[in-house]
Amino acid sequence: MSTVLNSQITALVGANVDQIIPLSGGCVGDVFQAELSDGRTIVVKTADPGTPAAQGLSIEAKMLQYQRNNSTLPVPDVLAVDDGMLLMSRLENGGGLGTTVQEDAASIVAQMHSITTDQGYGFEFDTVIGGLHQPNPWTKRWLVFFRDQRLMYMGRNAERMGRLPTSVLNRLNSFCDHLDRWIFEPNQPALIHGDMWSGNVLSAHGRITGFIDPAIYYAHPEIELAFTTMFSTFGKPFFQAYQSIHPIEPGFFEERLYIYNLYPLLVHVRLFGGSYVSSIDTTLKRFGF
């Protein structure tokens, strides 16, 4: 396989491959680091051609190019994309997410959240999150988009795959009928990364070097902020710095954070099932459902 992979990479970048090292991660396909004969080190993602995973790599390339062209968010350069292969620049990593990195992240993320559109909530094409389809039809109201294209879409998907009990889906549906008790319309849509957890945040020398594996769309920025707390990606240093740029409305940490994290929880239920179902149950009970 390595010989075939090497020749594919060479054909796309015009340089021979000296060494290939498997990397961890990659919900969409396998991930490698390739050292090239011209001195470059690149990241290679692969999937079987003609499969949904290969289509996911193509979508990932489009998302990265959109971020590169429309924001200042540091992301890998797309070097080449082919059916079943995505080649990207390698970003330095290994610096952790300490205080200065979190403060740097807050400035970068707040700047991204200032990017808006007059189209509404959604995106110009459907994207992926964790390898799963993420529908983005333009929708004028955030509450409607969040309810229909995030919570209920992923909930039904998880139930259809046998990962979410029908009884829990019915409770989720009842909860969604009352979302307007807690969720309000933001002033404007904001561009979000969409999958901002520690594995997708790269740093070195006390600063952010990049954000990878996007799941972008235009949303209420609070859904992004909530997700950063789910796996303890960012904490107090990030939120203090972010609030100094974009104040967060009262009630976020007490209520809305848990509501917005229902979506990534449902993504994890769809992917893995198990204990994530009990987390959905706990959140629904928290709000009386």
Q: Which of 17-31, 169-183, 217-231, 246-260 has the lowest mean pLDDT?
A: 17-31
pLDDT-derived band at 282 (thresholds 50, 70, 90) equals very high
Residue 46: beta bridge partners? 30, 85
Q: Which of 30, 83, 126, 195 is catalytic?
A: 195
Question: Which residue is listed with tokens 């796996």?
Answer: 231
Residue 190: beta bridge partners? 219
* Percent of the chain with pLDDT strictly greater than 90: 90
21 CB-near residues (< 8 Å, 6+ apart): 32, 33, 34, 35
Residues 130 and 91: beta-carbon distance below 8 Å: no
Report the predicted TM-score, pTM, of the whole model to 2 decimal places.
0.95
Residues 147 and 179: beta-carbon distance below 8 Å: yes
Q: What is the DSSP string of 25-82?
A: --SSSEEEEEEETTS-EEEEEE--TTSHHHHHHHHHHHHHHHHHHH-------EEEEE
pLDDT-derived band at 1 (thresholds 50, 70, 90) equals very low
Q: Which of 16-25, 117-126, 165-174, 276-285 has the lowest mean pLDDT?
A: 16-25
Position 23 scores a pLDDT of: 86
Q: Per the structure block, which two tokens stand in for 259?
A: 């509501």
Name the amino acid, one letter, at 192.
I
To the query of whether residue 177 is one of the catalytic residues in this protein, the response is no
Element (H, E) at 164: none
Domains within the chain, CATH numbers bracketed: 2-89 (3.30.200.20), 99-286 (3.90.1200.10)
- The residue with greater pLDDT, 95 or 289, is 289
CA pair distance 169, 63, nearest whole angstrom: 30
